[in-house]
Amino acid sequence: MIPLALGTAIYLRCLWEFASRGRGIPAPIDHPKQLVVTGLYRYVRNPMYVGVMLFLIGEALFVQYSGMLVYALAWLAVVHLNVLLYEEPNLRRKFGESYERYTVAVRRWIPGRRYDG
């Protein structure tokens, strides 16, 4: 239950940051208008995806079905490709130098040092 709860909490916190700081939602219909580098985004560039991954792992453990772990890994591979091929190039175009500074300071998947912009 811990990964399920943690994943949900991370996702909801990121959703809050997108809405309050970025003035948008994580959907193609209303992308954030400002680069979000606050909250969990100070430590990792893709905390929302990390939260979903934790949720999927928690779900696999909860239902005790190894097929869910395979699904979670396949999902992560698809998300990783989406981040590399679509999201990051679009963020570079949209936010330019500020996004470049952010990518140098903050890792994509593994939380690390704090970014203070």
Note whether 35 and 102 are within 8 A (CB). yes
Instruction: Give the pLDDT confidence of 9-54 residue by residue, as tens digits.
Output: 999 999 888 888 777 666 666 677 788 899 999 999 999 999 999 9
> Average pLDDT in the 91-116 region?
94
Domain extent, residue 48, equals: 2-105
**Quick one: pLDDT band at residue 85, thresholds 50, 70, 90?**
very high
| Domain-located, residue 111 | no
Q: Which two tokens stand for residue 83?
A: 């981040």
| Domain-located, residue 40 | yes
Instruction: Give the pLDDT confidence of 57-75 residue by residue, as tens digits.
Output: 999 999 998 899 999 999 9
Distances (CA, A) of 74 to 22, 79, 84, 100, 104: 29, 9, 16, 28, 27
| Domain-located, residue 115 | no
**Single pTM value for the model:** 0.86
| Domain-located, residue 55 | yes
Predicted confidence (pLDDT) at residue 110 exceeds the cutoff of 90: yes
| Domain-located, residue 112 | no
Angle at 27 between CA 15 and CA 101, to 5 degrees: 70
Residue type, 55: F
* pLDDT given for residue 29 in this prediction: 64
Angle between helices 47-63 and 66-82 (to 10 degrees): 170
| Domain-located, residue 110 | no
| Domain-located, residue 99 | yes
